[in-house]
Amino acid sequence: MNILHCDLDAFYAAVEQRDNPHLQGQPVIIGGRPESRGVVATCSYEARKYGVHSAMPASQAYRLCPHGTFLPPDIKKYHSVSRQVFEIFTDYTPTIEPLSIDEAFLDISGCHKLFGSSQEVGILIRKRIKNEIGLNISIGIADNKFLAKLATNLCKPDGILLFDANMIQNTLPKLPVSSLWSVGSKTAWRLNRAGIYTAGDLANISPEKLQRIVGSNASFLIALAQGHDQRPVCPRSDAKSMGNEITFPIDLSDPAEIDQVILELSSQVGFRLRQSELKACTVHLKLRTPDFTTVTRSRTLGNAIDADLVIYNIASDLYRQSGLTGKPLRLTGINCSNLIPCDLEQPALFEKSSDRLDNIIDELKNSFAGAKISRASLMEK
């Protein structure tokens, strides 16, 4: 029982309730304005009683819960709280696989001598997040990732649950097929049509028969239905920043030329971010004058980005505000930090953070290694 699945309860809404006592115990809905075409990012459990849920149009949420408090998301604040939560996780294990801004798997095999049983570690983490950060987190504990996540879903909100052998035998078989990993509404419908309703039904079916219904996923699904899941907890790359810089053969002072360099560097850094499936919340610009004085400027954003032109616009702005416009420079560099895995960035409720043209250029760069492919504005420069 070494795998913990940890997921904060009603994350964005809970942060707002924590920071505003008037909202505690109230229906709070985070997302677009009710009169806009925006959607609900999340809502407090008090609002869920009225049928409000994530991804619902805000106008519909308003019809269901007109007395609820509707607030826009403060992504910068949530990222900072998320970092504090993940800091606490790292006190117990280095093997952390983040799944989203508020959710992670922890493999705690190595920490029992120091902190006790898995259940004791789970209780400790919940207590610390409550006391130090002021939020509730639900924790599922099991032998594998699938059962640990299932346990969290069963004990939410504000719960902790160990999915033990007894539950594998008695609870798992009764759960609907939709509780299995990768079974969405379409697959569930196909399974139900074939008379398969529960994990128990699935556990006893022949792989050949199931293959005709769900294709190549069949053996994986049967294993899950029997409570088996071999997937290890995979910690992510811990790159702290990503940057590129150029030292010029002769000093440059023409702002238009420097701007071209900034665009080229933005494309290089953007490409590397996307290749690593990372996004950045902070962009830094580094400028070095001929006397080796180095000036750095940075900007931290409310959302995470990886698009060349977004990086370029920020870096170019920093250049114009640097006081060095028109002055000779021997080096220019761009660095992106505060990196988060792409899938931690929630669905695009907010500012557009990447660009379709970037994806096309990336594909071409990957397919024609060595070829010079870039935006037309960078050609012949």
> Any contact of residue 346 with ligand TTP (CB under 6 A)?
yes
Q: Please state, in angstroms and rounded to a whole number, the distance separating the CA atoms of residues 51 and 34.
A: 15
Indicate which single residue of 6, 101, 148, 196 sits in contact with ligand TTP (rule: CB under 6 A).
101
Q: What is the CA radius of gyration of the chain?
A: 25
The residues assigned a catalytic role are: 103
Indicate which single residue of 2, 3, 6, 7 sits in contact with Mg ion (rule: CB under 5 A).
7
Nearer to ligand TTP, 47 or 242 (CB): 47
> Any contact of residue 102 with ligand TTP (CB under 6 A)?
yes
Indicate which single residue of 26, 71, 72, 157 sits in contact with ligand TTP (rule: CB under 6 A).
157
- Pick the closest to residue 146 from 188, 182, 184 (CA basis): 182
Whether the Cβ atoms of residue 331 and residue 248 lie closer than 8 Å to each other: yes
- Pick the closest to residue 279 from 304, 302, 297 (CA basis): 304
Indicate which single residue of 3, 9, 191, 259 sits in contact with ligand TTP (rule: CB under 6 A).
9
Nearer to ligand TTP, 46 or 259 (CB): 46
> Any contact of residue 353 with ligand TTP (CB under 6 A)?
no
> Any contact of residue 11 with ligand TTP (CB under 6 A)?
yes
Structure tokens at 265: 């560097």
Whether the Cβ atoms of residue 344 and residue 261 lie closer than 8 Å to each other: no
Helix (H) or strand (E) holding 203: helix 199-203
> Any contact of residue 347 with ligand TTP (CB under 6 A)?
yes
> Any contact of residue 42 with Mg ion (CB under 5 A)?
no
Nearer to ligand TTP, 50 or 248 (CB): 50
**Which ranges of 278-307 would DSSP assign to H, the alpha helix?**
none
Whether the Cβ atoms of residue 69 and residue 12 lie closer than 8 Å to each other: no
Residues 12-51 touching ligand TTP, rule: CB under 6 A, are: 12, 41-42
- Pick the closest to residue 20 from 54, 69, 62, 75 (CA basis): 69
> Any contact of residue 311 with ligand TTP (CB under 6 A)?
no
> Any contact of residue 54 with ligand TTP (CB under 6 A)?
yes
Nearer to ligand TTP, 54 or 178 (CB): 54
Nearer to Mg ion, 8 or 309 (CB): 8
Sheet holding 28-31, edge to edge: 40-43, 28-31, 69-71
Burial class (CB in 10 A: 0-12, 13-18, 19+), 53: middle
Helix (H) or strand (E) holding 365: helix 356-367
Residues 79-108 touching Mg ion, rule: CB under 5 A, are: 102
* Number of other residues whose CB lies within 10 A of the CB of residue 297: 18
> Any contact of residue 81 with ligand TTP (CB under 6 A)?
no
Whether the Cβ atoms of residue 326 and residue 50 lie closer than 8 Å to each other: no
Nearer to ligand TTP, 44 or 187 (CB): 44
> Any contact of residue 143 with Mg ion (CB under 5 A)?
no
> Any contact of residue 8 with Mg ion (CB under 5 A)?
yes
Using CB under 5 A as the criterion, which residues of the chain lie in contact with Mg ion when the complex forms?
A: 7-8, 11, 102
Residues that bind ligand TTP (CB under 6 A): 7-12, 41-42, 54-55, 100-103, 156-157, 346-347, 349
